[in-house]
Structure 1
Amino acid sequence: MQQKIREIASRVRELRELSEISVEQMADSLNLPILTYQRYENGSEDIPASILYKIATDLKVDMGLLLTGDMPRMHIFTVTRKDKGVAVERRKQYSYQNLAANFIHKKAEPFLVSVDPRPQGDAPQRNAHPGQEFNFLLEGRLKIYIHNNEIELEEGDSIYFDANYEHAMEALDGRPAKFLAIIL
């Protein structure tokens, strides 16, 4: 997985340079300390999916290009077979599969997200990103933390929220949870 992280980081750096955007400008746009952004870009730290989405937006490219190195070409439809989505390992508690990496000019980014139970004593990892997010719980139980609220979801429940507010997801009952996430 470390090789994949370095490949994504290299594509981000190359596209940023081609776009004539400085490291400082990109870090500022992402609301990140420069050193954090530099760790992302040199591949020493994995780029969270929410940050990768914002980078793609800032660089005016499809997120699929950053993930795979290939420009999406499908414009009528794309099919992603079970367990064949483009893997995006973002944090130790979450794993993502991009379900439409090959579709060009998407208006949303669909992901299949798996959340492992967090180790005792670890706090849920919060993040925020531009836009809105829709989550539909497929398996397990999930607690969503968002803007001073804690909401528990059961299989079949969904939530739609403003992703600019810090949020986190936590698998409950000591079991992994799986949900469909659509980022708009």
Structure 2
Amino acid sequence: MSNNEAYKEIAPRLQGLRDAMDMSIEELAEKTGVTAEKAALYESGTVEIPVSYLMDVAHLCGVSLTVLISGNEAYLKNYALVRKGKGLNVDRRKDYDYKNLAATFVGRRMEPFMVNVPPKEVADMNFTTHRGQEFIYVLEGRLELRLDKSVVELEVGDSLYFDSNTPHALRGLDGKSARMLDVIL
């Protein structure tokens, strides 16, 4: 499924969830920290929907991220096994390739992702913020992480834990993609 198709599938779920919560677009926007115009764009299915926004809406509305992304409820309670290279695709931003590694687990308290971060120019880095905390562990390549005005370079085996409210952006270094485990709490 292409990213554009995914946006078209997620958009009505966003709108339906907001309607079910009897919330105006302005109320949802205020509670998630985006403008009403941006929230309406996400519900239109014509623009990329950041994972951080989906997580904020899911948290606010008391549903799992899996429901918003796939339309299916999580169903495993004892454990969720994800084989190498698998996981629920959450390619909601063109910046990175995300795979959720626990999408089928009910009641999870964290969102673990396998993320491939492509190389890019500094000017092309897109900063994001979201609630919670984040843990990154580099598995392949070299990764640059910008935290507000700080620049941190990470190599294989390096990890970083940070407050996700800090504006942050990533890029692979040396003209190559980097692969990392990203856990969002």
TM-score range, shorter chain: over 0.9
Rounded Cα–Cα distance in structure 1 between residues aligned with 2:131 and 2:15: 21
Rounded Cα–Cα distance in structure 1 between residues aligned with 2:128 and 2:63: 22
Aligned to 2:65: 63
Aligned to 1:180: 181
Aligned to 2:75: 73
Rounded Cα–Cα distance in structure 1 between residues aligned with 2:41 and 2:30: 15
Aligned to 1:103: 105
CA contact (8 A) 1:124 1:168 kept: yes
What is the aligned length? 183
Letter in 1 for 2:124: A
**1:17-63 deviations in Å (ceiling 9; x for gaps):** 11111111111112111111111011011210111111100110010
TM-superposed CA distance for 1:16, in Å, is 1.2
Aligned to 2:24: 22
Aligned to 2:156: 155
Return structure 1 stretches of 4+ with deviation > 6 angstroms.
none
Equivalence map 1:109-128=2 (5 Å) = 109-118=111-120, 120=121, 122-128=123-129
Letter in 2 for 1:127: T
Q: CA RMSD in A?
A: 1.1
TM-superposed CA distance for 1:117, in Å, is 0.8
Letter in 1 for 2:167: E
Aligned to 2:49: 47
TM-superposed CA distance for 1:92, in Å, is 2.1
CA contact (8 A) 1:110 1:180 kept: yes
**1:50-78 deviations in Å (ceiling 9; x for gaps):** 11111100110010111111110111101
Q: Structure 2: give runs of 5+ residues left out of the alignment.
A: none
Q: TM-score, normalised by structure 2?
A: 0.95
**1:79-100 deviations in Å (ceiling 9; x for gaps):** 1112221111132221100111
SS in 2 for 1:181: strand
CA contact (8 A) 1:93 1:117 kept: no
TM-superposed CA distance for 1:121, in Å, is 6.3
SS in 2 for 1:91: coil
Work out the percentage of aligned pairs sharing the same amino acid.
38
TM-superposed CA distance for 1:133, in Å, is 0.2
SS in 1 for 2:115: strand
Tell which deviates more after alignment, 28-37 or 125-134: 28-37
